[in-house]
Structure 1
Amino acid sequence: MQNIAPDARVRYRERLSPSLWLLVTIALAGPMVALIFIPAGSTVALVIGAAVSALLVAGAIALTPVVSVQGDELCAGRAHIEVHHLGRPVALTGEEARQARGPGLPARGWHLVRGGIDGVVVVPNVDPDDPVTAWTISTRTPDRLAAAIEAARS
Structure 2
Amino acid sequence: MHEITLGRVSETRAAADSVRYRERLRVPWWWWLPGFALAGIIAFEVNLGIQSIPMWIPFVVLGLVAAAALTWLGRVDVRVVSGTAPHGETELWVGAAHLPVGVIARSAEVPKSAKSAALGRQLDPAAFVVHRAWVGPMILIVLDDPDDPTPYWLISCRRPDRVLAALNA
Shorter-chain TM-score range: 0.7 to 0.9
C-alpha change, 1:107 and 1:8, in structure 2 (3 Å) is farther
Instruction: State the SS of the aligned residue for 2:129.
Output: strand
C-alpha change, 1:47 and 1:62, in structure 2 (3 Å) is same
- Residue 10 of structure 2 is matched in structure 1 by none
Question: CA contact under 8 A between 1:34 and 1:46: conserved in structure 2?
Answer: no
- Residue 136 of structure 2 is matched in structure 1 by 118
Higher mean C-alpha deviation, range 61-70 or range 20-29: 20-29
CA RMSD of superposed structures (Å)? 2.5
Selected match of 2:98 from 65, 80, 85: 80
Selected match of 2:43 from 8, 13, 33: 33
Instruction: State the SS of the aligned residue for 2:98.
Output: strand
- Pairwise CA distance, 1:8: 5.8
- Pairwise CA distance, 1:65: 1.2
C-alpha change, 1:95 and 1:107, in structure 2 (3 Å) is same
Instruction: State the SS of the aligned residue for 1:37.
Output: helix
- Pairwise CA distance, 1:52: 2.1
Selected match of 1:67 from 66, 74, 78: 78
Structure 1 alignment gaps of length 5 or more: none
Structure 2 alignment gaps of length 5 or more: 1-13, 83-89
Letter in 1 for 2:39: A
Question: CA contact under 8 A between 1:17 and 1:65: conserved in structure 2?
Answer: yes
TM-score, normalised to structure 1, is 0.79
Distance in 1 of aligned mates of 2:61 and 2:18: 38
Selected match of 2:25 from 7, 16, 22: 16
- Pairwise CA distance, 1:59: 3.9
Distance in 1 of aligned mates of 2:128 and 2:144: 13
Instruction: State the SS of the aligned residue for 2:55.
Output: helix
Q: How many residues align?
A: 145
Distance in 2 of aligned mates of 1:98 and 1:143: 20
Q: Percent identity?
A: 29
